[in-house]
Amino acid sequence: MSKITKELKNATFIYDEEKKTFTIMEADGFNGHIELNKVYAFAFMRFVVRMAQRNWLRSNKSISKIIEEEELEENDSNQLNLF
């Protein structure tokens, strides 16, 4: 069995196939780390995916609202210039 490791700037993710555990560690050592069994790791991944989907859909709506607001502000300023 093997370990799958992904190192990022501020964190390291490790999946140990033998123990069936998922570990998240801070980059600067063992000051902060979390070890999850396969059930909790799966629940954590579902949570992450749901938050990503929620933020993805929310960002699309908010961008269109910002564009509409900018168009309204431009129309208001054009109308003031007419008077």
pLDDT tens across 35-60, in order? 999 899 889 889 989 988 887 776 55
CA–CA dist 57, 4 (Å, integer): 31
Return d(Cα 82, Cα 74) in angstroms, integer.
13
Q: What tokens appear for 6 in the block?
A: 């992904």
Plot region of 3 (φ>0 → left; ψ -120 to 50 → alpha; else → beta): beta
CA torsion sign for 46, 47, 52, 57 is positive
Residue 47: predicted pLDDT: 92
Strands 21-26 and 11-16: antiparallel
pTM of the complete model: 0.55
Residue 66 has pLDDT above 70, yes or no: no
Q: Where are the domains of the chain?
A: 3-82
